[in-house]
Amino acid sequence: MAADAENPLEFLRIMVVHADGIENACPNSIIGCAIWAVTGEEPEWRGRRNGFLPGSTLFNPLELRPVPGVQSVISGEPAVVYKADGNEIPLTPEELLRFIRHDLHPEEFRRLHEKYGQIHEIHEDFYEPETGAAWQPILRRDAGTDGSGISGP
């Protein structure tokens, strides 16, 4: 659904379709989903969910089962479907996690950019347009961190 006078925030609505249903999210809650996937623990938001759009939930993207018969636009592997701002993007759960963390590999960025053009999730604030290098990934899994296994950008 496109944004209009009755639903001005619809452009912020994110849906992820998977074999077991649909997860509803927004830009704020999707970061919580990335935290959950990287840490393995559901984040404690302590009342901060009031920054979520109504109906948004937290989920671990790596626990989603692909939709039967749907293949990733990047790898051709079984996929879930990320829906936002009129786009439907089939991605594996692992690709979805890199996508929402703004940490796609350059070739993954190029494939999405060729198919979908300049969309918010892969625009130049997050990726170098010529090389596809991620500018500011969220929560990288690193072996060389302080022991948490997580580092910032």
Q: Which two tokens stand for residue 33?
A: 């989903």
Residue 147 predicted with pLDDT over 70:
no
Kindly indicate the confidence band of residue 148, based on its pLDDT and cuts at 50, 70 and 90: very low
Among all chains, which residue has been given the structure tokens 């809650």?
A: 29
Kindly indicate the confidence band of residue 123, based on its pLDDT and cuts at 50, 70 and 90: confident
Q: Of the given ranges (39-43, 101-105, 106-110), which has the lowest mean pLDDT? A: 39-43
- 78-82: average pLDDT: 98
Angle value at C-alpha 13, between 72 and 124, nearest 5 degrees: 65
Q: Where are the domains of the chain?
A: 10-151
Residue 3 predicted with pLDDT over 50:
no
> For 62, which DSSP code?
G
The mean of the pLDDT values for the chain is 83
Q: Kindly compute the dihedral angle of the four CA atoms of residues 40, 45, 46, 48, in this order, to the nearest 10 degrees.
A: 180
The DSSP H or E segment spanning 21 is strand 21-25
Q: pTM of the prediction?
A: 0.82
